[in-house]
Structure 1
């Protein structure tokens, strides 16, 4: 007999059904006012093993034998009132294949979004179970109650990443990706799927572990993400009567991953999360709330410090005492709060790349010791920061010989090498002990309060050393690295850490939940950067988004302001030869930082991003990013990137039907630049902005309801 149970957690309601002869299926999801009902039943988890495979031959994560064979055993709901968290665990079993499976769902009171993960246990078979894939979440698209599911109703938003060109979002009709094949004639679901796959440790090196499904006809929008700093896969597929989505970490087919479970052993999938809202903006609001609810608590979160880093378009990895001291003085004069010494500070050879790993200051670069520079930073009232690349050892580093082979990624007994670097395996005691000693020395002896953790190579499939497969070794390292980061905060709770991976090659929530700052790119062309900066809050909180501004002494006032606005609605992140600027240029940079501290810094930690021109395309001539503040106002930056621009129409539905005030924030007339003319159409909710013709220019302004 079919039975139903419902779990209520904050603004989330999940309803399931099952019977003794069938799997557990989710029948509906409600989050706030939005509800999706599923007319087709599918298992809430799919597990692929070498000895079972699919029940219908295909390459999907779903349609597995075990997924259909798992049966309900119990469910348990718990509440953690102190943390404002709710957890549901559904216990399943497949006696024939000797598997116990627990599917977990977690919700925070403050965020209408669900985190989910799965435990798979070999429940007693004498034979090992060889896992090939485990889904962290599967679902149909669904439709509102009383309406029929329809793939034609949905759009998919996805993003492509490349070094220097991160966060290029696009949308396509799902039906264009999954064309109609009339498979219903065969009475078998289609084999087609549309998958996005990331390998190695650059979790956003090619594509994003996040997608959005929007149906304006149904008034429903799904947002989903995989929260993992290694290999992952997500897919959408055609289930004939509806579309489906499935998320997972590494798989056998895509990532050389297999996990062997002996009797009594358990594997836990990587976490994923999903939310349902009525609109695209509603989904982004839920996602933003979730990110704040599940990130590491830190004093820097709500009031993000202003950072200067000496690398980009400035020292370029060649620091010396003589170069740093004038920059430190100039940075303090404009109001910088953290000063970061970037790469090269440890190198005596002139070739810093292959020598990384020992992390001892160069005596040639700093004749009186690096403490002279660090003390100068502190004397100016700034927090000293420093760059390291903790997960690698250069092939020319002394540590390459001092550390045992077990400390490194290996395949077939040989150390993995990528661009003159060995890769540390953080499962190893010696590897972690080495990094602990480095961090302890830099914090305790030098007083470092900010680290830029970079990561410029990826190890491929992984390591087969003491692992069931290359991918299993990689997953073990990924999790050990996250645990090591957690251990740093246990020792140094006020430490501020930036996550950089050749710019934005690891913008996954496994890391974004742990780091206060996220590099968005290594892009050095100020004319290209706005598309990256504007898209960044799709992957991270605005206050984490470190997009470079690198004004220079040879730039005119408009170009300098353009640069500053690229970082303005994120983590203020400055570089450039400030010490070479004349008084007027110096004053303009200082004015930008003062405006940030007055208008953005106090509110960004409670703001929600929006895109008044839609998500930016790489070559858009006008790009815009907005932040809705908790006070009901909006901050908007507009970049004009074409000599033939004239007017842009910003969609501001949050103010529709009301009168508004539009106030320049940066630059303003006192900065020597004319404000752009604006006109407001309350009926349509559109703000018309006259942008200049014949130059690259940018303005940030505030919009408030009157």
Structure 2
């Protein structure tokens, strides 16, 4: 690299440095201003091309199943770049103009303080081209002002004379990170009923030092992770992280795909590289044929920076709030009662619902969602007959389902319904009414069938029209204000990426037509807990775990994947529970979105009072949750940990810090460090839940919170207020 070819872009929260000269433009460094780390000139050969992709007939540049070192990446030549802030264009450089690669350009730093209009995002597009195929490649970057997060994707346009078949498109390729010797790599297992289980190991455990001085090659080993199929977070979250063990710098990423994705981390030039990607041919049987003049955009990915895992996740949380669709629900955070979990379990009737509606309203619920089964009139079962989404007459005699919805409204709550819109049962009349082209199909035109259900393809207008009619009837005619959109099959088939993008587009169009509607995203719990879906839906189901004792590690780790105000956490108190058990299940939800369930209609008055107290506590603190960032005083929770803790730092706002602390066993006392309050002697400590403290004792010692929970299982929710936020 020479100084003449350098280009610096960013803002006061993020600096990105490029070499746009030489044979191949390269991304040299992503960091926070004044942050320690390798200088761009020290990265040298560890820097990688801005974009890496594979085409049919091109292959890779060396042996091994890696998404770096492809034949095409080093061939891409610089053409131009353009930077904007908000709606304002402020720099453009073109290779055909004299002075393109003059002195280092720092236009973003010069103009950011004057750009007080626009949408608050800095954007940069670097255009490259392949002289052999004629392919134009656009590396697109974006970052919200002041937030240390880089968003990235690659867009393609075939400017050549012949079709090209794309087999992979990287969303972000970054080399020059610290040596694998210095890095911990984090991943999160995400399984049905056991979501968000993070684990870490030294990167060197997977990427061994093979003696580069002898072989003059980097190791072919890499940490590789992929999500396959229409449950993008089945198996693992579409996330990962590095933490530098020498200076605590953290890098945390997510791939924003509601379909398939891949990421890998390995070694290049004694440094670490990171590659983030959407679906690929090798991993997911995906490819895209671009005719001359056609375009294709890869999936977005985001990289957040911070001190340690917690600091990087705080930046990612802020980014997630900025990138999502605005909606009043993100401000109000209403309490939702859902009749399913450990309660009606898909068997609603008017007789069962009416007393439950009255009890939920008395407990303080603001929405009431009738879950699955409301459409079931089939003696053979509803699983493989769904699709028409018409109410059962047998379950709702007399006034029909409208009488139930009216009862919900009369008790001051907004009515909701469960829906599984993308599936059509093989026995449903809809399966015969819609054309084959309205469904995802295998090669040869055979419909995808999973567990007795077909999968709609929302790229087809007939499939979209069917769902539009369904939602406009339920929301527009019946007055339903909440939809829990579930998805209980998974498939991996060609066309899935197009469908997933059409699915998100359809959701957006529904909210355009019905702006007050609240949508909960669910796929057997958290199997579709991806960044693309979270940017459209208002709530995210985090789990369908029915055992209250196994909920704490899920509830505590859910904010790694979803902001607290979007993460729906079940609380299902039962009349058979002791007071301690009621408080335990309620306490697990108070730092997320309360999803209340349970047979409240069968509770004794003193039991229902416990529920009311918890709901009232939640309403008193929810204004802080919508801007809070999470941290973990005891580290990220393990599945069998006896003590689990989640912290939320609510700033700006009241400046309060909240802690949920669960004890499932072990010694009755733990110390919980709270670093941002360390050294303050005047910290006020208040137990918010359970009412009356339930035997818990909590005190501040100047650096940590001492928590005593005499019995197990037990939970305590605490508010700390320091001298300054």
Q: TM-score, normalised by structure 2?
A: 0.92
- Say yes or no: does 1:138 pair with 2:140: no
The aligned residue for residue 710 of structure 2 is 692
- Say yes or no: does 1:377 pair with 2:408: yes
Q: Where does structure 2 lack aligned partners over 5 or more consecutive residues?
A: 87-116
Assess if the C-alpha contact under 8 Å between 2:208 and 2:219 holds in 1: no
| Equivalent position SS for 1:226 | strand
Assess if the C-alpha contact under 8 Å between 2:687 and 2:698 holds in 1: no
| Larger displacement relative to structure 2 (576-585 or 43-52) | 43-52
Distance in 2 (alpha carbons) for counterparts of 1:110 and 1:478: 31
Deviations 1:364-387 (A, max 9, x none): 000121000000000111010000
The aligned residue for residue 93 of structure 2 is none
| Larger displacement relative to structure 2 (29-38 or 129-138) | 29-38
The aligned residue for residue 644 of structure 2 is 623
Shift of residue 573, structure 1, vs aligned partner = 0.8
Distance in 1 (alpha carbons) for counterparts of 2:561 and 2:603: 34
The aligned residue for residue 120 of structure 1 is 156
Assess if the C-alpha contact under 8 Å between 1:198 and 1:204 holds in 2: yes
Assess if the C-alpha contact under 8 Å between 2:28 and 2:176 holds in 1: no
Assess if the C-alpha contact under 8 Å between 2:207 and 2:219 holds in 1: no
Residues 689 and 133 of structure 1, relative CA distance in 2, 3 Å threshold: same
- Say yes or no: does 1:317 pair with 2:346: yes
Structural mapping, 1:501-540, within 5 Å: 501-540=523-562
- Say yes or no: does 1:356 pair with 2:386: yes
| Larger displacement relative to structure 2 (427-436 or 98-107) | 98-107
- Say yes or no: does 1:542 pair with 2:564: yes
- Say yes or no: does 1:680 pair with 2:700: yes
Shift of residue 14, structure 1, vs aligned partner = 1.1
- Say yes or no: does 1:406 pair with 2:442: no
Shift of residue 264, structure 1, vs aligned partner = 1.5
- Say yes or no: does 1:612 pair with 2:633: yes
The aligned residue for residue 656 of structure 2 is 633
Shift of residue 679, structure 1, vs aligned partner = 3.5
Correspondent of 1:490 among 492, 506, 512: 512
The aligned residue for residue 11 of structure 1 is 13
Shift of residue 282, structure 1, vs aligned partner = 1.7
Shift of residue 689, structure 1, vs aligned partner = 1.1
Assess if the C-alpha contact under 8 Å between 2:670 and 2:707 holds in 1: yes
| Equivalent position SS for 1:635 | strand
Assess if the C-alpha contact under 8 Å between 1:28 and 1:36 holds in 2: no
| Equivalent position SS for 1:415 | coil
| Larger displacement relative to structure 2 (224-233 or 176-185) | 176-185
The aligned residue for residue 146 of structure 1 is none
Shift of residue 166, structure 1, vs aligned partner = 0.6
Distance in 2 (alpha carbons) for counterparts of 1:276 and 1:386: 39
Distance in 1 (alpha carbons) for counterparts of 2:426 and 2:33: 54
Distance in 1 (alpha carbons) for counterparts of 2:13 and 2:614: 40
Structural mapping, 1:185-224, within 5 Å: 185-224=214-253
Deviations 1:395-433 (A, max 9, x none): 121111111111111112211110111000000100000
Deviations 1:16-42 (A, max 9, x none): 11324x111122223255354351221
Assess if the C-alpha contact under 8 Å between 2:614 and 2:689 holds in 1: yes
Assess if the C-alpha contact under 8 Å between 2:226 and 2:283 holds in 1: yes
Shift of residue 235, structure 1, vs aligned partner = 0.7
Deviations 1:554-584 (A, max 9, x none): 0011000000011110001100000000000
Residues 5 and 110 of structure 1, relative CA distance in 2, 3 Å threshold: closer
- Say yes or no: does 1:26 pair with 2:27: yes
| Larger displacement relative to structure 2 (176-185 or 558-567) | 176-185
The aligned residue for residue 461 of structure 2 is 429
The aligned residue for residue 62 of structure 2 is 56
| Larger displacement relative to structure 2 (489-498 or 149-158) | 149-158
Residues 110 and 675 of structure 1, relative CA distance in 2, 3 Å threshold: farther
Deviations 1:312-341 (A, max 9, x none): 000000000000000000000111000000
Deviations 1:80-132 (A, max 9, x none): 13211111000111102221100000111253211111111221232x21111
Shift of residue 263, structure 1, vs aligned partner = 1.3
Distance in 1 (alpha carbons) for counterparts of 2:227 and 2:263: 9
Residues 569 and 32 of structure 1, relative CA distance in 2, 3 Å threshold: farther
Distance in 2 (alpha carbons) for counterparts of 1:90 and 1:129: 21
Residues 34 and 276 of structure 1, relative CA distance in 2, 3 Å threshold: farther
| Equivalent position SS for 1:195 | strand
The aligned residue for residue 649 of structure 1 is 671
Assess if the C-alpha contact under 8 Å between 2:11 and 2:146 holds in 1: no
The aligned residue for residue 313 of structure 2 is 284
Distance in 2 (alpha carbons) for counterparts of 1:173 and 1:50: 35
Assess if the C-alpha contact under 8 Å between 1:110 and 1:293 holds in 2: no
Correspondent of 1:666 among 679, 685, 689: 689
Aligned residues: 680
Please report the RMSD computed on the Cα atoms of aligned residues, expressed in angstroms.
1.3
Assess if the C-alpha contact under 8 Å between 2:29 and 2:176 holds in 1: no
Correspondent of 1:577 among 588, 593, 599: 599
| Larger displacement relative to structure 2 (113-122 or 385-394) | 113-122
| Equivalent position SS for 2:384 | helix
Distance in 2 (alpha carbons) for counterparts of 1:400 and 1:104: 41
Distance in 2 (alpha carbons) for counterparts of 1:402 and 1:29: 53
Distance in 1 (alpha carbons) for counterparts of 2:134 and 2:121: 32
Distance in 2 (alpha carbons) for counterparts of 1:183 and 1:229: 39
Distance in 2 (alpha carbons) for counterparts of 1:132 and 1:514: 28
Distance in 1 (alpha carbons) for counterparts of 2:427 and 2:710: 52
Shift of residue 356, structure 1, vs aligned partner = 1.3
Distance in 2 (alpha carbons) for counterparts of 1:280 and 1:248: 22
Structural mapping, 1:236-385, within 5 Å: 236-350=265-379, 351-368=381-398, 369-385=400-416
Assess if the C-alpha contact under 8 Å between 2:422 and 2:487 holds in 1: yes
Deviations 1:620-674 (A, max 9, x none): 00111111112322111111112x43211211001100122211101121xxx53
Distance in 1 (alpha carbons) for counterparts of 2:603 and 2:404: 21
Distance in 1 (alpha carbons) for counterparts of 2:368 and 2:176: 47
Distance in 2 (alpha carbons) for counterparts of 1:115 and 1:229: 17
Shift of residue 141, structure 1, vs aligned partner = 5.0
Correspondent of 2:426 among 392, 395, 398: 395
- Say yes or no: does 1:453 pair with 2:518: no
- Say yes or no: does 1:84 pair with 2:120: yes
Distance in 1 (alpha carbons) for counterparts of 2:195 and 2:63: 36
Residues 375 and 213 of structure 1, relative CA distance in 2, 3 Å threshold: same
Correspondent of 1:105 among 113, 134, 141: 141
Structural mapping, 1:553-568, within 5 Å: 553-568=575-590
Distance in 1 (alpha carbons) for counterparts of 2:537 and 2:201: 32
Q: TM-score, normalised by structure 1?
A: 0.94
Shift of residue 675, structure 1, vs aligned partner = 4.1
Deviations 1:584-609 (A, max 9, x none): 001100010001111x2111101111
